[in-house]
Amino acid sequence: MKSKQSFLWIAAVLLVSAGCGGGPTPAQLGYQAVRQSMKALGHEPALPLTRVKIASGGSQSIPLRLQRGECTLLVAVAEGSVKDLRLTVLDPDGDIAASENAYDASASVQLCARREGDYLALLEADGGRAEVFFSGYQTSGSLAGASRPSGASCERTDGRLTPGTRVLGELKPSDPSGLTAGCAPTPGPEQIFEFELTERMDVTIELESAFDGVLYLRTGCSTGDELACNDDWGEVGRSRVSLPLDPGIYYAVVDGYDAAVGEFAITLRVSPERSPAEICADAEILSLGQVVRSNITEGTARFNASCAGGAAGPEEVRRLRLPERRRVRIEQRSDFDGVLYLRTVCDHATSELICNDDYMGVHTSVVVAQLDPGEYFVVSDTYMPAPNMVGEYLLSVEHTSPEGEGIEGDSCTNAARLPLGESIELDTFDARDDFASRCGGEG
């Protein structure tokens, strides 16, 4: 394997080195570091460098215009107190095209656009504020075709992947070394696993490793292209790539970060590709007053929200029909960090009416709205695609008249007693809407 260091490592070295003397500001040094590291690796700029500031727990979006078949390396390097930086790219339909969950201050993804259009890069910062330098660079990759490219293959393979079968293995120092990943420094040995698709499918490959593993997908080795790459998925010992693929032969590569080796398990999962419109057509009915218990496992990740950094994990969609105008409260209680949002048009993200990530804790989401007669779509989503971001949840729908049926303490004549020095909990969902403050508006 080539002894080429990752561009993020180079960027970090340049930042530290440049910070030892006077001259340019830290922001300027950040721009220079990213550009110099890309130039050192032979990547030409494809997008202008962009600088954004993100508060802790916040997010920023950057619009991208990409051409079909072009492969672009997107890089985000942060300064500040941020601990975790996450980069997600949404395609023109709002689906996840690429994602990297980086448990440090840098993230990168390689994206081969399947069609021309307006894409969106979402940057999220946890554990502190961030000043992020975002850029894109041309790579040698290309869009996966309908069959194996002429001459693209791997001279050796270490096994064949079958959908649904967990393959155990061990990466050893004596294994051959001839490939390098696009998302992490991988100067050590690797193992290569082949699989074939006879029709277009949604493909997910998961790697569990006793070391810091890296997983990437290629159309070939010496002459093929890298289609996807992931270092850490939720934690150091897990990696995951997920994308739709055309019929053909592909190669999943198990590698180690900075030549790490050890035992691992790799699993291939495939399912027929389903568009958001197809998922919406099969959405089950959610009735007023109903309580639903369900379980999100891996599922699809075709929908995104306006809150929770886009809600990039798998989701479930339900259809809610109202015969008349009602005040509605929908509550989701989950074993994971869930997200809940409401749309008027199922497969149109711009039709979203309301979205909630956390309501008094990460395990509860609540939306309340006055809704006219008609059809609505309730999306139970997950904050991000990670092993601890799936599980069981309860979904309930309450409703009352638009004006409210009234509760104790709903007026001056039946005001509730407020004991001194005590805390009380109030639920105003069914309260009448007959007062308005000067500062808070109606409600």
Average pLDDT over residues 421-437: 76
At residue 69, the pLDDT reads: 73
Please write the tens of the pLDDT for every residue from 119-165.
989 888 877 788 888 888 877 554 444 334 444 678 889 999 999 99
Over residues 221-247, the mean pLDDT reads: 85
pLDDT tens for each residue of 317-342: 999 999 999 999 999 999 999 999 99
**HSE on the CB side for 162, CA within 13 Å?**
4
pLDDT at 10: 42
Residue 246 CB coordination number (10 Å): 16
For residue 50, the model assigns a pLDDT of 87
Most confident of 113-122, 138-147, 175-184, 410-419: 175-184
Domains 159-272 and 276-400 share a fold: yes
Q: Is the pLDDT of residue 81 over 90?
A: no
Choice among 46-55, 69-78, 137-146, 317-326 with the minimum mean pLDDT = 137-146
pLDDT at 436 exceeding the cut of 80: no
Sequence-distant (6+) residues with CB within 8 A of 170 are 261, 262, 263, 264
- Given pLDDT bands bounded at 50, 70 and 90, which one contains residue 28? low
Numbers of helices and strands, H then E, in the chain: 3, 28
**Domain 159-272 class in CATH:** mainly beta
Supply the pLDDT for residue 334. 94
CA 437 to CA 305: how far, in whole Å? 31
| Each residue's pLDDT tens digit, 90-121 | 888 777 777 776 567 778 887 878 788 889 89
Token output for 306? 């306006």
Cβ of 333: how many Cβ atoms within 10 Å?
16
Confirm if 218 and 224 have CB atoms less than 8 A apart.
yes
Q: In the predicted model, what is the mean pLDDT of residues 31-47?
A: 72
Q: What is the DSSP track for 321-382? A: EESS-EEEEEEEEESS-EEEEEESSTT-GGGEEEEES-SSSTTEEEEEEEE-SEEEEEEEEE
Q: Which letter does DSSP use for residue 300 in this model?
A: B
Indicate if the pLDDT at residue 273 is higher than 90.
Answer: no
Domain ranges of the chain: 7-141, 159-272, 276-400
Q: Where is pLDDT greater, at 325 or 46?
A: 325
Residue 258 above 90 pLDDT?
yes
- Give residue for tokens 């592909």: 250
Percentage of residues of the chain with pLDDT beyond 90: 36
The yes-or-no verdict on residue 8 having pLDDT over 60 is: no
72: pLDDT strictly greater than 80: yes
Q: Is the separation of the CB atoms in 326 and 380 below 8 Å? A: no
Q: How far apart are the first and last CA of the chain?
A: 64
| Of the candidates 201, 362, 343, the residue with the CA atom closest to the CA atom of residue 283 | 343
Tell me the pairing of strands 159-160 and 190-197.
parallel
Looking at the domain 7-141, which fold is it? Jelly Rolls (2.60.120)
Contact 8, 108 (CB under 8 A): yes
Domain 276-400 has CATH 3.30.230.10: no
Evaluate if residue 18 carries a pLDDT over 50: no
Distance CA 398, CA 329 (A): 5
